[in-house]
A and B are shown apart, each in its own frame.
Chain A
Amino acid sequence: MNPTARLLGLDVGSTTTHLLAAEAAITRNCVTGRREFAPPVILARPPAIFTPLTPDGIDVAAVMAQLDVWLAAIDPETFEAGGVLLTGLAAEAKNATALRTQLRTRLGNLLIAAAADPHFESWLAFHGSCGRLSTAEPDQPFLNLDVGGGTTNLALGQGGEVLATASLWIGARHVRFDPGTRRVIGTSSIGARVLAATDEPAKFFVDALTAFLAGRAIPDWLVDAPWSASADLAGARITLSGGVGELFYARRAKGREPAGTAFGDLGEMLAECLLDAPWIDRVPAESPSHGGRATVAGITLHSTELSGATIHLDRSDRLPLTDVPLLGQLAFTADEAEIFRTITGVPADLSAVAISLVGDPPDREQLRNFGAAAGRALAEAGDRVTVFLTGHDIGKTLGNYLTAWGTSPRPVIVLDEIPTLTSARFLQLGRPVASTVPLTLYGLQ
C-alpha cells in the first residue's frame, strides 16, 4: 500500500473562515517517475463561519474557539502539510500577528502562516478553482478571479501553471449593510472612498475590474498588487471563485433576480453586476472546482509539493523547518567564487537558507566539482542549515559530495525532483514521509 500524507488547510478571510482536511496517498507517477499526491480523500469540510471581526480587528479568541470545535475530531499533530492563510481584511487587522502567533502554537510547526501575500493567495485560488480545467486543456489560458470579501485575486495560468498574478481591493465586505436592508452600517476605508464617488458601489467595483482586465488605468488605491508579470489576457477563459464567485454561479444557474443584502454586504450585488460584465461570454459553462472554497482548497491540496525519494537529509533531524528564505540560485557550472559568495554571503542571523540549483543536469565531473566546492563553502557557514533544491534526480549523490561521503557532516539538506521552482521567497519543509519531504513554496511577491 502506498504511504499517505494528511493535509490541513485553514483560510481566515475577510468574510468567511474555512477549514479543509484531506488525506492523499503518495504515489510514484510511473509515466514521469515523480513522487506526487494521488487525488485526495476529503476527511473534513465543515461549514464555513463568518470571520469574527470586531472594531479592533479579528476576534482572536472566537477564531481559536472555532478551531477547537473543528479540531475536536482531528489531531493536528497527524497532519504533514497544508497551511494557514490570513487573507484580505483578516490579514490587515491590527491584531493579525496575535492570531498568527496563537495559530502557530495551536497547530505546531506543521503549517505555514503566509499572511498578506496577495500573489500567493491568487496562486492558491487558481489551483483550487481552475487548476484541473487548466491541466485538462493545456493550450487554453485561464484567468481566475477569486472575488472575496476584501480582495479580488487574479491569476492567469496555462497548462496547470500560474503565469501571472495580481490583486485588487474589490470585495463584498467593503460596504456592510443591515442584512435585508440598504442601510449602510459600516465601511472599510476603500468602501468609504467608493461611496464618496458613487451610489452604486458594486457596479463601480465591477467596472474597475473590467477596466483592469482591459489594461486601462484604475485608481491606485484599488490596486493591492499589480500584475507580477506581463499578463496577456487575450483569449483567456475566465473562471470565478471565492464567496462572490460562488454567488455568481448560483445566480447564473437559477436565473436573474434582484440582488439583496441578505449576507449584510455587497456580495449579491457584485454577483449580479458580474453577470452583466462585458467579458461574461468568456466564462465557460462548466463551474470550476471548490467555488467559494477555492483558496482553502488551494492551500490544502495544491500548495504542497513532494521531493524525490532519493534525497540527502543531514542526520540531526532538523525537519520541519518554517519560513526558510530562498536566497539565491546557482548553476552546477558555477565557479568556486560564485559558489562561495552565494552560500556564505547571507545575513548572519538566519538559521536556515535555501538555494535553488538551476540549469542542465550535471555530468559526473560537474557534480563532483560543484559538490566539493560547495562543501568547502558550507564549512564556513557554521550551524546554519543550507537547503539545496533541484529539479534533477541527484539529491543523494550531491549530498555525498557536499559532505565528502558523510565524512564531513554538515547541516545540509538536498531536495531533488522539485518540479517547479517559482519565484517564491520562502519555503516550508515538512517532516519526511516515506522518504520524501513535503514542501511549500510561498511568498511570491
Chain B
Amino acid sequence: MIPLEKIPVPEPKPDAPFATTLVDRNFFFPSLKALLGAADFSKAGDRNAGLAAPVEVTREAARHILSGLTLAFLHDHPLTDDHGRIDDVMRVNYAIDRVEFDRIATLTLGELKNYLLRAEGPAVEAVGRALTGVMAAALAKLCDTHELIAIARKIHRPTRARTQIGLPGTLSSRLQPNHPTDDPRGVALLVYAGLSLGSGDAIIGLNPAVDTVESTGAMLRHLDALRRRTGAPTQICVLSHVRTQMECLRRGDPVEILFQSLAGTGATLTGEFDVTIELLDAASALMHERGPIREAQQFFYFETGQGSEFTYGKHHGIDMATTEALCYGLARRYDPFMVNNVTGFIGPETHLDNFEMIISNLQDHFMGKLLGLPMGMAPCYTLHSQITLEGQQMATQLLAAAGSNFYMDVCLNTDRMLAYFDTSGHDDQTLREIHGRTPAPEYLDWAITRGIFARGPDGSIQRGPHWGDPRIFCESDAEYDELRRVTPSFPDFTHAGPRPAEHISRELKFHQAAAREAIASELDPSRMPGIAFREIATRATSKAAHLNSPILGALLGAESRAALGPETSRIQIAAADGLSAEAIHHNVGELVPVLLEGLAAHGITTGQPLLARYGRVKLAEDIAALLDCELVILLIGERPGGTALASRSLSAYLCYRVPSDVCSGTTQFEYSVISNIYSGGLPPLEAASVILEKSLAILHHRAAGNRLEELAA
C-alpha cells in the first residue's frame, strides 16, 4: 500500500469556465465541478445543491463538452475542497496504474467510452486501474442504460473469504438480520429464514441497535454461534464503527470481515464518519495480522451510496455521482471483500423517484466495477420518497444483467430497525432463477446437503425440499415459535415459487400504503380540539417541498418569524407533522393537556403551544432562539416504517439551549429524545409524564442528551 503522502497529485488550478455553442445556442459552465454536475441526469440531491442542469439541452451541452475532455485534462485538474485544497480522499484516488494511464491519457472521454464498448473484459479491467474516481464518474455520465450495463458486465471481480463470491454465473447475498433491540432470538430467526432461502453466502451482517464494544462483541459471538450451529460456510460481520470492531478484534471477538461506511470527501469521511485514512490503514494492517479467517484474501466490507456528502453539506460543490466514485477510489486502496451500495437509503432529498434511484444504481455499479471493486447493490427506499417496490425490482433486474456480485436479504423487504425497504431473500432467489445464477460454490454445496437447493437431472440448480423453511435449523417447533414471538413484521413464511405467498405480499403492501398515506396526510388542527394552538409556518410551502428538502422545514417562515418574539416562559411546547401528520392527530390531543397540567403543577411556565405545518426536528432550535426559552418540547411525527399502526408513532425532541456559562461560545443545543409514542408503544397519556420527568431533569441539571445522562447517573 503506497503511503498517502507519496501519492502524486497535480497542484490545484483556478476554476476555468467551459463554453460551447450548439445549434446557435450558447452554453456556459463556470467550473469543472459545475460541468460535471450539469452533465448528470437530474437527481434531487444535485438539484438541491444547485448543480443539476435546469433543462435537458443544458445537460446534453455539458455532456458534449465533457465528451471532448481528455483523461489527462481531468487528471491535471483535481477537484478541491471548499478551501481550494486537495483532501485525503482525492489524494488516494490518484493511486493509479501509471503505465496504463500514460497509454490512455490522450484519449477523450468519448473515445474512451467507445474503446470500452469495443474491448474485451481484461482490457476494460486494465483501463479501470488507471482511472481516478472523477474520470469514472465523468464517463458514467456519458453512458446510457445499455452502456452502463454492457461495459460493467465485462468485469468480474471475485473475492475470497470462506466463500468465493463474484464468480461468473453466481449471485450472492448479504443476510441482514437487523432487529430493533438486537434480541438474539429475533436475530436467530432472521438468520435461519435467510439461510433457508439460500441467502447469506456473501456475509451475515448485522447493523447493531447499539454501537458499543460490549454489544458488538456479544452480537459477533452470537452470529458466530449461529454460523457454527447451521454449518453455513460464510462469514459474519457486525456493522459498528471500525474503531469499535478493531477493539472487539483485539479482545478476541470473531471480527471476520471489517465494516465501515465511506464518504467521497475528506470533510464527510472525517467530520461525520469519524474515519481517517490513517485509521483505515491501521485497520487493514490489524486484519491482515489477526483476521480469523485464514483462507481470506480480503478483509473489508465497505458501504457507500450517492448523496451522503450532500446531506451533510460537505460536498464542496461536487455532484453526487462524482463523490460516490471518489468513495470507490478510496475503497480500492484496501482491496475489499465486498462493497455495498445503498443509494436510495437517504430519502427524497437525494433521490426522489424510481428513475433517479435506478439510474444512480446503474452508474454506481458501473463506476465501482470499473474501478476494480467487488460491487454489490442494495437499491432501496424510504416511504417518504416516491420510490416504490416495483422500481426497486426493476433496478435489481437491470443490475443482475449488469452482473452485480450480491444483493441484500432483508426478510420480506422490511428492515425491522432502520425503517427502510431493501431487497429480500425472495428477490435474490427470483433473480437467480430468472438470470440463471447460483450462490457461491462452497455455500451451494452446503445448501444442497441441507435440502435448501437440489441438483436437477440436467445438473441445473433448483429450489430443494427445505427451501424457505427456517424450522430446519430449530430443534423443535417450540423453539421456532419462541423465536417468532420476539420478531416483528414476521407474519408468516409461506411461499409461492420463489416469491412470498400472495397474502403476505398483500399485507406488506397494505402496510406500506398506509404508511405513505400517513406521510402524505396534512396537519388538521380541527382534529385536536381543546388545545389552543398558535399556528406557525416553516419555509416549506408545500408537502412536496417539505419532503424533498431537509432544510426548509427546519426554519420558520418570514411571517411566523415576524409574529414571534422573546417571551418569558421557560418551556415552549410545539407540535409539527414531520413525516407523519397522523402521529400528531392521534397522540397530541391526550398528551399535551396532561403535560401542561404537570408542568403547571411544578410551577414551570410555558408558552401557548405552537403548531407547525411541514416542520422538521431542527425547527426546535429556531423556536428556542426566537422565543428565548430554555427548553422546546417538539412533538413530531416519526418516519413511518413497515406497519400501519406505527405510522402514527410520535417522537418528543427535548431541545435544550445550553446556557453560555455551561457551554461557552455560540449558542449550542442539546437534545433528549423520547420516541415510539403511540397506542402500540408508549401511550400518549403515559408519555406525558415521561416527557415531564425528563424536562424537569433537564432544567435541574442544566443539560440534555448524553451530558444529562452522565450527570443524572
Q: Return chain B residues, CB-CB under 8 Å to A1.
A: 210, 212, 214-215, 218
Chain A minimum-CB-distance residue to B689 = A396
Q: Return chain B residues, CB-CB under 8 Å to A136.
A: 476-478, 481-482
Q: Return chain B residues, CB-CB under 8 Å to A400.
A: 598, 689, 692
| Residue contact B685 to A38, C-beta cutoff 8 Å | no
User: Is A187 at the interface (CB under 8 A from chain B)?
Assistant: no
| Residue contact A364 to B601, C-beta cutoff 8 Å | no
| Residue contact B682 to A310, C-beta cutoff 8 Å | yes
| Residue contact A405 to B686, C-beta cutoff 8 Å | no
Q: Return chain B residues, CB-CB under 8 Å to A28.
A: 181
Within 8 A of B (CB), among A397-412: 397, 399-400, 404-407
Q: Return chain A residues, CB-CB under 8 Å to B602.
A: 405-406
User: Is A101 at the interface (CB under 8 A from chain B)?
Assistant: no
| Residue contact B601 to A393, C-beta cutoff 8 Å | no
Chain B minimum-CB-distance residue to A394 = B686
Given contacts A27-B181, A367-B685, A405-B598, whether A33 and B680 have CB atoms under 8 Å apart is yes
Q: How far does the alpha carbon of A62 sit from the alpha carbon of B416 in the complex, in Å?
A: 54
| Residue contact A29 to B478, C-beta cutoff 8 Å | no
Chain A minimum-CB-distance residue to B690 = A310
User: Is A112 at the interface (CB under 8 A from chain B)?
Assistant: no
User: Is B597 at the interface (CB under 8 A from chain A)?
Assistant: yes
User: Is B693 at the interface (CB under 8 A from chain A)?
Assistant: yes
| Residue contact A394 to B181, C-beta cutoff 8 Å | no
User: Is A133 at the interface (CB under 8 A from chain B)?
Assistant: yes
Nearest CB in chain A: distance from B558 CB, A: 37
Q: Return chain B residues, CB-CB under 8 Å to A33.
A: 680-681
Nearest CB in chain B: distance from A135 CB, A: 7
Given contacts A1-B218, A31-B486, A33-B681, whether A395 and B686 have CB atoms under 8 Å apart is yes
Given contacts A133-B478, A405-B601, A405-B602, whether A310 and B686 have CB atoms under 8 Å apart is yes
User: Is A132 at the interface (CB under 8 A from chain B)?
Assistant: yes
Chain A minimum-CB-distance residue to B589 = A364
| Residue contact A397 to B685, C-beta cutoff 8 Å | yes
Q: Return chain B residues, CB-CB under 8 Å to A27.
A: 181, 183, 486
Q: How far does the alpha carbon of A400 sit from the alpha carbon of B689 in the complex, in Å?
A: 8
Chain A minimum-CB-distance residue to B490 = A31
Chain A minimum-CB-distance residue to B181 = A30
Given contacts A28-B181, A133-B478, A135-B478, whether A393 and B682 have CB atoms under 8 Å apart is yes
Nearest CB in chain A: distance from B95 CB, A: 41
Range for the number of chain B residues in contact with chain A? 35 or more
User: Is B292 at the interface (CB under 8 A from chain A)?
Assistant: no
Contact of A393 among B210, B683, B688, B693 (CB under 8 A): B683
Nearest CB in chain B: distance from A166 CB, A: 26
Nearest CB in chain B: distance from A144 CB, A: 15
| Residue contact A397 to B485, C-beta cutoff 8 Å | no
Nearest CB in chain B: distance from A161 CB, A: 15
User: Is B607 at the interface (CB under 8 A from chain A)?
Assistant: no
Contact with B along A384-395 (1 / 0, CB 8 A): 000000001111
User: Is B590 at the interface (CB under 8 A from chain A)?
Assistant: yes
Contact of B488 among A31, A39, A394 (CB under 8 A): A31
User: Is B441 at the interface (CB under 8 A from chain A)?
Assistant: no
Contact of B186 among A30, A364, A394 (CB under 8 A): A30
Question: Secondary structure at chain A's binding surface: helix, strand, loop or mixed?
Answer: loop
User: Is B69 at the interface (CB under 8 A from chain A)?
Assistant: no
Q: Return chain A residues, CB-CB under 8 Å to B681.
A: 33
Given contacts A310-B689, A364-B593, A405-B598, whether A29 and B485 have CB atoms under 8 Å apart is yes
Q: How far does the alpha carbon of A152 sit from the alpha carbon of B602 in the complex, in Å?
A: 57
Q: How far does the alpha carbon of A173 sit from the alpha carbon of B688 in the complex, in Å?
A: 58
User: Is B126 at the interface (CB under 8 A from chain A)?
Assistant: no
Q: Return chain A residues, CB-CB under 8 Å to B437.
A: none
Nearest CB in chain B: distance from A17 CB, A: 29
Q: Return chain A residues, CB-CB under 8 Å to B477.
A: 136-137
| Residue contact B486 to A407, C-beta cutoff 8 Å | no
User: Is B179 at the interface (CB under 8 A from chain A)?
Assistant: yes
Nearest CB in chain A: distance from B28 CB, A: 56
Q: How far does the alpha carbon of A33 sit from the alpha carbon of B184 in the complex, in Å?
A: 16
Considering only CB atoms and an 8 Å cut-off, how many residues of chain A contact the other chain? 34
Q: How far does the alpha carbon of A401 sit from the alpha carbon of B654 in the complex, in Å?
A: 23
Nearest CB in chain B: distance from A332 CB, A: 11
Contact of A364 among B181, B218, B590, B690 (CB under 8 A): B590
Given contacts A135-B481, A394-B686, whether A30 and B180 have CB atoms under 8 Å apart is yes
Given contacts A310-B682, A364-B593, A394-B685, whether A29 and B486 have CB atoms under 8 Å apart is yes
Contact with A along B366-380 (1 / 0, CB 8 A): 000000000000000
Nearest CB in chain B: distance from A151 CB, A: 28
Q: Return chain A residues, CB-CB under 8 Å to B683.
A: 361, 392-394
Chain B minimum-CB-distance residue to A28 = B181
Contact with B along A307-325 (1 / 0, CB 8 A): 0001000000000000000
Q: How far does the alpha carbon of A363 sit from the alpha carbon of B212 in the complex, in Å?
A: 40
Within 8 A of B (CB), among A339-393: 361-364, 367, 392-393
Q: Return chain A residues, CB-CB under 8 Å to B481.
A: 135-136
Q: How far does the alpha carbon of A89 sit from the alpha carbon of B486 in the complex, in Å?
A: 41
Q: Return chain A residues, CB-CB under 8 Å to B476.
A: 136, 286
Contact with A along B474-508 (1 / 0, CB 8 A): 00111001100111100000000000000000000
Q: How far does the alpha carbon of A363 sit from the alpha carbon of B679 in the complex, in Å?
A: 12
Chain B minimum-CB-distance residue to A286 = B476
Nearest CB in chain A: distance from B411 CB, A: 14
| Residue contact B478 to A132, C-beta cutoff 8 Å | yes
Q: Return chain B residues, CB-CB under 8 Å to A361.
A: 683
Chain B minimum-CB-distance residue to A33 = B681
Nearest CB in chain B: distance from A400 CB, A: 5
Q: How far does the alpha carbon of A137 sit from the alpha carbon of B478 in the complex, in Å?
A: 8
Nearest CB in chain A: distance from B600 CB, A: 9
Q: Return chain B residues, CB-CB under 8 Å to A133.
A: 478
Q: How far does the alpha carbon of A132 sit from the alpha carbon of B485 in the complex, in Å?
A: 12
Chain A minimum-CB-distance residue to B683 = A393
Contact of B179 among A30, A137, A367 (CB under 8 A): A30
Contact with A along B171-210 (1 / 0, CB 8 A): 0000000011101111000000000000000000000001
Contact of B686 among A363, A393, A404, A406 (CB under 8 A): A393
Q: Return chain A residues, CB-CB under 8 Å to B487.
A: 31
Given contacts A30-B486, A30-B488, A136-B482, whether A397 and B686 have CB atoms under 8 Å apart is yes
Q: How far does the alpha carbon of A137 sit from the alpha carbon of B210 in the complex, in Å?
A: 34
User: Is B594 at the interface (CB under 8 A from chain A)?
Assistant: yes
Contact with B along A138-171 (1 / 0, CB 8 A): 0000000000000000000000000000000000
Q: How far does the alpha carbon of A404 sit from the alpha carbon of B477 in the complex, in Å?
A: 50
Nearest CB in chain A: distance from B645 CB, A: 11
Nearest CB in chain B: distance from A174 CB, A: 35
| Residue contact B685 to A364, C-beta cutoff 8 Å | yes
Chain A minimum-CB-distance residue to B598 = A405
Q: Return chain A residues, CB-CB under 8 Å to B598.
A: 400, 405
Q: Return chain B residues, CB-CB under 8 Å to A135.
A: 478, 481-482
Chain B minimum-CB-distance residue to A36 = B486
Q: Return chain B residues, CB-CB under 8 Å to A399.
A: 689
Nearest CB in chain A: distance from B470 CB, A: 15
Of residues B416, B598, B602, B685, which shows the largest number of chain A Cβ atoms within 10 Å of its Cβ? B685
3 closest A-B pairs by beta carbon, nearest first, are A405-B601, A136-B478, A396-B689
Show 28 A/B contacts (Cβ-Cβ < 8 Å), sorted by A.
A1-B215, A29-B485, A29-B486, A30-B181, A30-B486, A30-B488, A31-B487, A38-B183, A135-B478, A136-B476, A136-B482, A286-B476, A310-B682, A364-B594, A364-B685, A367-B685, A392-B683, A393-B686, A394-B683, A394-B685, A394-B686, A395-B686, A396-B690, A397-B685, A397-B689, A400-B598, A405-B601, A406-B601
Beyond known contacts A31-B486, A31-B488, A396-B689: 16 more, CB 8 A cutoff: A1-B218, A27-B486, A29-B183, A30-B186, A38-B184, A135-B478, A310-B682, A364-B590, A364-B685, A367-B685, A393-B683, A397-B689, A405-B598, A405-B602, A407-B601, A416-B686
Interface residues of B (CB under 8 A from A): 179-181, 183-186, 210, 212, 214-215, 218, 416, 476-478, 481-482, 485-488, 590, 593-594, 597-598, 601-602, 680-683, 685-686, 688-690, 692-693
